[in-house]
């Protein structure tokens, strides 16, 4: 099982957890497993063609999976995936910081 760090904007979709565990041998499998347990995360993570959305970055430990093998990047049991959607500065989306 890999550990997935959930960003603040996605926490409501996973019952408020900051990190969750999910199984899988590569990034795609781990994220699919997350989406099957917490279906609300699916449209945040994946585009209609099954690829990672452009506005979401996923890091294997500290490295962007796009510079590794993308969704096919192998994931080990002790690895951590960090999900990072685009976030504007200040208080996100609000007019007053």
Partner 1 sequence: MSVSGTELLRQIKSKIEEIDPSEVKELIDEGVAIVDVRGSEEFATGHLPGAKSIPRGHLESRIEGVVPDRSSELILYCASGNRSAYAARTLQEDMGYEHVRSMTGGITLWKDRGYEIEIPRALTSEQRDRYSRHLLIPEIGAEGQQKLLDARVLLLGAGGLGSPSALYLAAAGVGTLGIVDDDEVDLSNLQRQVIHSTQRIGIPKVDSAEESIHALNPDVKVVKHPVRLHARNIMEIIEGWDVIVDGVDNFPTRYLLNDATVRLRIPVVSASILGFDGQLSVFKPYEGPCYRCLFREPPPAELAPSCGANGVLGVLPGTMGLLQATEVIKLILDIGEPAIGRLLLYDALGATLTEVKVHRDPDCPICSRAPEQIADEEMGVFPDYEAFCAAAG
Q: Is the separation of the CB atoms in 67 and 59 below 8 Å? A: no
Q: Mask of contacts with partner 1, 10-39, x by CB under 8 A?
A: --------x---------------------
- Shortest Å, Cβ 68 to partner 1: 11
Distance CA 73, CA 67 (A): 10
Is residue 50 part of the contact set for partner 1 (CB under 8 A)?
no
Distance CA 94, CA 92 (A): 5
CA 36 to chain centre: 13
Site residues (vs partner 1, CB under 8 A): 5, 7-9, 18, 43-44, 53-57, 59, 62-64, 67, 82, 84-97
């Amino acid at each position: 099982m890999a550990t997935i760090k959930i960003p603040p904007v996605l926490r409501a979709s996973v019952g408020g957890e900051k990190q969750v565990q999910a199984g899988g041998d590569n990034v795609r499998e781990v994220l699919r497993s997350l989406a099957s347990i917490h279906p609300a995360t699916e449209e945040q993570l994946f585009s209609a063609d099954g690829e990672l959305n452009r506005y979401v970055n996923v890091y294997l430990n500290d490295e962007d999976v796009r510079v590794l093998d993308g969704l096919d990047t192998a994931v080990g049991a002790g690895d951590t995936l960090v999900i990072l959607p685009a976030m504007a500065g200040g208080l996100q989306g609000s007019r007053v910081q």
